[in-house]
Amino acid sequence: MEALTTIRPELLTLTDGQLQALMPYFLVFGGISLAIIASVLRSLKPKWPVFILGMLTTIAGICSASGLLGSQAGSELIFNGMMVSDAYSNFFNIVFLASAAFTLLSSFRYLDHEQLQHPEYYVLVLFSALGMMLMASALDLIVLFIALELMSLSVYVLVGFRRADRRCNEAAMKYFILGSAASAILLYGSALLYGMTGSTNIRDILAFVQAHPQGLPVVYVLGAWLVLVGFLFKVATVPFHMWMPDVYEGAPTPVTGFMTTGLKAAAFAAFVRVLISAGYGKGLVTAVQSHFHDILWVSAVLTMLVGNIVALTQVNLKRMLAYSSIAHSGYILVGMIAGPGSEQGYAPVVMYLVAYAVMNLGAFVVLTILAGRDDSGLNLQDLAGLSRRHPWLSFAMGVFMFSMAGIPPTAGFAAKYLLFYSAVQANEIPLVIIAVLCSAISVYYYLRVLVYIYMRDPAGSPAASRVSVWSLVAVSAMVVLTLQIGILPAKMVSAAKKAVTSL
């Protein structure tokens, strides 16, 4: 019997490459620590320093991650294979940090306006972004779970940030309880996987799957199934979507924007990584493969149908965008189903996540500007005649709505085209037909917003909202990005392809 070796010296040091690969995480955590210190200093009013620290942190993180994306060849395993720094994780790090940065930009004036200007807000957004970054790079189910909790815990608090508001409290409570239940399901599934495979590392789990081509134990499938349910809950697909509209409506508008983009991208990024390792791919166990395929297929169809059809009847814009967000989760699931069968692999999924993040964040920044006190004034009627009050914002909203409906020349069209094309390649013709039909339904409720903005007369003469420079910067950047990805998608496609090759 060989003796246990519990201290392995090679695990106690970090090589230069590993230190470099950890740079984005160190920068963000350093920024968080500074922001916490700045928010308790009594001598200065914490609003400006914490906001600027937050912005600097995200920008530094983006710079460092994009530097790694350019220079790193292959992937760097860190901490005994607990996490990995590769093109995939760095690509998503940029997405998460950018989404956090634009959320901070659009929140600044909003928090003043709502008298919610507390420095903890910025710190929590950064914490949540750190959780997302770790989620996309976790290679171990334990790390994945802790990262998920770090992300969710911060967002639970952000959702309930407007303490005096009943709806806001209800949304936070609902999200907290249901989210914890989903985390518990995910954790139980991970425990079962660990019990069957003897490892929590997702590469080792993949090795276990590959070593059993004739079939896997039932308990393994049960565990994988529970993990799947946990993720499907986090990305809010039908039938695990019930929490989403209430939470999206109750949360402060910039937080909702952050949730639809960062949170969703993080959940999908980790979902893809784990699903592949759990045996979802060509050439692995056929029974498991088709089992997962069927679950995802049913969920994707239901998600697209329910999301799009219920969105038709919504008059509150935040609720409408919540259902539209559910529908978009359905499209992304289509990409995940097609992943193993098409030659682009999961690149369309990554591309779609980016396009969706850009256009949706843009739409929510516009809503944040327009929101009245306590997020009132976000119904369709309130937008009537907006083109006369805010011509530039109306144009921006138009671009985002066209993009979400998937009309060229916008990012939404390019992403949808790529996604459906890969599904055709994977021979998922019925799925593509349903997806395209759902997409056609969605044009109605997206363009209805524009009808109100441009063609209806307002009731009375509503005053124009004050637009802060920060929000204007955010909206303009999103419009430019939406059009740029739409007109010249090649660069983004190749970046997405590079990201998924490292999976």
Decide if residue 24 touches other proteins (CB under 8 A).
Answer: no
Decide if residue 114 touches other proteins (CB under 8 A).
Answer: no
Question: Considering only residues 65, 124, 202, 266, which one is a binding residue for other proteins as defined by CB under 8 A?
Answer: 124
What count of residues does the chain have? 503
Nearest 10 degrees: Cα torsion 450, 452, 453, 456: 130
* Least distance from other proteins to the Cβ atom of residue 422, Å: 34
* Least distance from other proteins to the Cβ atom of residue 217, Å: 4
Structure tokens at 503: 């999976």
Decide if residue 373 touches other proteins (CB under 8 A).
Answer: no
Q: What is the DSSP annotation of 47-110?
A: HHHHHHHHHHHHHHHHHHHHHHHHH--S-EEETTTTEEESHHHHHHHHHHHHHHHHHHHHHHHH
- Are the beta carbons of 300 and 338 closer than 8 angstroms? no
Nearest in space to 91 (alpha carbons), one of 503, 481, 422, 400: 503
Sign for the pseudo-dihedral over CA of 343, 346, 349, 350: negative
Residues from 80 through 109 that contact other proteins (CB under 8 A): 80, 82-83
Q: What is the DSSP annotation of 314-362?
A: --BHHHHHHHHHHHHHHHHHHHHHHGGGSTTTTHHHHHHHHHHHHHHHH
Show the binding pattern over residues 248-267: x = contacts other proteins (CB under 8 A), - = does not.
Answer: --------------------
Binding piece for other proteins, criterion CB under 8 A, among 123-131, 371-379, 410-418, 459-467: 123-131
Q: How many residues bind other proteins (CB under 8 A)?
A: 54
Question: Distance between CA 185 and CA 463 in Å, rounded?
Answer: 48
* Least distance from other proteins to the Cβ atom of residue 297, Å: 21
* Least distance from other proteins to the Cβ atom of residue 226, Å: 10
| Smaller CB separation from other proteins, 130 or 259 | 130
Show the binding pattern over residues 181-220: x = contacts other proteins (CB under 8 A), - = does not.
Answer: --------------xxxx------------------xxxx
* Least distance from other proteins to the Cβ atom of residue 170, Å: 9
Decide if residue 153 touches other proteins (CB under 8 A).
Answer: yes
Question: Distance between CA 345 and CA 296 in Å, rounded?
Answer: 16
| Smaller CB separation from other proteins, 12 or 463 | 12
Question: Considering only residues 69, 78, 278, 336, which one is a binding residue for other proteins as defined by CB under 8 A?
Answer: 78
Question: Distance between CA 388 and CA 376 in Å, rounded?
Answer: 20
Nearest in space to 289 (alpha carbons), one of 275, 299, 302: 275
Structure tokens at 124: 């929590």
| Smaller CB separation from other proteins, 225 or 395 | 225
Binding piece for other proteins, criterion CB under 8 A, among 1-9, 339-347, 446-454, 489-497: 1-9
Question: Distance between CA 423 and CA 348 in Å, rounded?
Answer: 10
Decide if residue 77 touches other proteins (CB under 8 A).
Answer: no
Question: Considering only residues 161, 233, 243, 248, which one is a binding residue for other proteins as defined by CB under 8 A?
Answer: 161
List of residues contacting other proteins (CB under 8 A): 1, 3-4, 6-8, 11-12, 29, 36, 78-80, 82-83, 118, 120-121, 123-124, 127, 130-131, 134, 140, 142-143, 146-147, 149-150, 153-154, 156-157, 160-161, 163-164, 166, 169, 172-173, 176, 195-198, 217-222
